[in-house]
Structure 1
Amino acid sequence: MGQDAAPDQEDWVPPDGSWASSAARRRNMQAIRSRDTEPERVIRRLVHARGLRYRVAAKPIPDLRRTADLVFRPVKVAVFIDGCYWHGCPEHYVSPKTNSGYWSDKVKGNMARDQDTNQRLTEAGWTVLRFWEHESPDGCALKITQTVTRLRARRN
Structure 2
Amino acid sequence: MGKPIESITIVGGGTSGWLSATFLARAMQTEIASGRMTITLIESPNIPIVGVGEATSPALPQLFQFIGLDEKKFIKNANVAFKLSGYFDGWNVNKDGSPRKWVNPFVGSYNIAGRSPCYYYLKYGRETGEDFSSIVSPCPAMIDQNKGPRIPG
- Alignment TM-score > 0.5, same fold: no
- Select the structure of larger CA radius of gyration: 2
The structure with higher relative contact order (CA 8 Å, sep 6+) is 1
Q: Which has the higher helix share?
A: 1
| TM, length-normalised to structure 2 | 0.25
